């Protein structure tokens, strides 16, 4: 019985934190696996205040444009396998500014969910909804 309880507790994620700024926010939940695989980062890109996916969303790894990943489906879901180490991630999309996470220390066997909640960037639109 104790073994089952320990197993259940070990499988539950550890919510690291929710970070918010004026324009957007994200939440991080970290899971540890017994498998010796490279770290996996996955999650969703949502519109701020909703569970609506951001169209054509992209994820940037460590601010390097060579490492841009497209969300895989219409639900804004993404999954990235990275090397162990400290990384930060940024999410953005059409009419949404990129929003960057803090650095996350990832180890072998880690699985980290980062959900981004982005506000639309209307700064480039004038009163008539035309680009400046």
Q: What is the pLDDT of residues 21-73, one digit of tens each?
A: 556 788 888 888 778 899 999 999 999 988 898 878 889 999 876 667 777 66
Residues 45/93, Cβ–Cβ less than 8 Å: yes
Residues 92/24, Cβ–Cβ less than 8 Å: no
Burial per residue of 83-108, b for 16 or more beta-carbon CB atoms within 10 angstroms, e otherwise = eeeebebbbbbeebbbbbbeebebee
Mean pLDDT of 6-18: 43
Supply the pTM of this predicted model: 0.74
Report pLDDT for 124: 57
Q: Tokens 């400046």: give the residue.
A: 132
Calpha distance 39→103 (Å, rounded): 14
> What's the pLDDT tens digit per position in 84-102?
999 999 998 888 888 899 9
CATH number of 14-118: 2.60.40.1120
Domain ranges of the chain: 14-118
């Amino acid at each position: 019985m104790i073994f089952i309880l320990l197993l259940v507790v070990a499988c539950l994620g550890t919510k690291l934190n929710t970070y918010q700024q004026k324009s957007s926010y994200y939440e991080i939940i970290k899971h540890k696996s017994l498998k010796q695989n490279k770290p996996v980062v996955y999650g969703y890109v949502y519109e701020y205040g909703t569970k609506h996916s951001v169209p054509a969303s992209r994820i940037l790894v460590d601010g390097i444009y060579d490492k841009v990943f497209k969300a895989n489906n219409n639900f804004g879901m993404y999954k990235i396998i990275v090397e162990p180490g400290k990384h930060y991630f940024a999410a953005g999309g059409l009419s949404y500014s990129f929003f960057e996470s803090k650095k996350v220390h990832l180890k072998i066997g880690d699985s980290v969910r980062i959900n981004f909640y982005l506000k639309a960037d209307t700064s480039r639109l004038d009163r008539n909804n035309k680009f400046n």
